Structure 1
């Protein structure tokens, strides 16, 4: 198995993508191509853009394989300036309070833009 992992090339991965559409099967694991967004990712990103209009960077990723059970959010906004990390995360949680009820987990990464 180790030898197989070492010789797996981008050509092999491309072939898997062609066969599976928007998913890649690699050593028994299914990974989604990040060039397309799920409906949940789009919905959450839209809500966060509305709540944090000054966000300079926003990325929402469904890390549950596309089923919407767990998301990872990276958001950088000047609206977090002067707030501790826990306060920043509370703001994100508050913005997504209705959606969080349907999730099994949420990873939040916040930052203030460097100027």
Structure 2
């Protein structure tokens, strides 16, 4: 069963409380999403490290219930 955007956002915000999260359904099928996540906790981390934080927040659901999630992560602009 696919995940809905609100559940994805909640999981990310639970793990990264200061995050601003924008989720888009790319295919209209509830199975392919893009997420833009901005968090101070990303500052000084590589893109890989940022994505690892998000993947950890999704608790292993990526590739299962959540088929595809394109990530764009960044720290807030100064």
Q: CA deviation at 1:54?
A: 1.4
Q: CA deviation at 1:41?
A: 0.6
TM-score with structure 2 length normalisation? 0.84
Q: CA deviation at 1:113?
A: 0.5
**Alignment counterpart, residue 11 of structure 2, candidates 34, 37, 47:** 47
User: Deviation digits for residues 33-91 of structure 1, max 9, x if unmatched?
Assistant: xxxxxx71111111111111112x210112121x3211101000001111000110011
Number of corresponding residues? 75
2-structure distance, mates of 1:69, 1:107: 11
User: Does 1 or 2 have the higher relative contact order (CA < 8 Å, sep 6+)?
Assistant: 2
1:87 corresponds to 2:49: yes
| Bigger fraction of residues in helix | 1
Structure 2 segments unaligned to the other structure (5+ residues)? none
Question: Rg larger in 1 or in 2?
Answer: 1
1:68 corresponds to 2:26: no
Q: CA deviation at 1:104?
A: 2.7
How big is the alpha-carbon RMSD for the aligned residues of Structure 1 and Structure 2?
A: 1.5
Structure 1 segments unaligned to the other structure (5+ residues)? 1-38
2-structure distance, mates of 1:42, 1:51: 14
TM-score with structure 1 length normalisation? 0.59
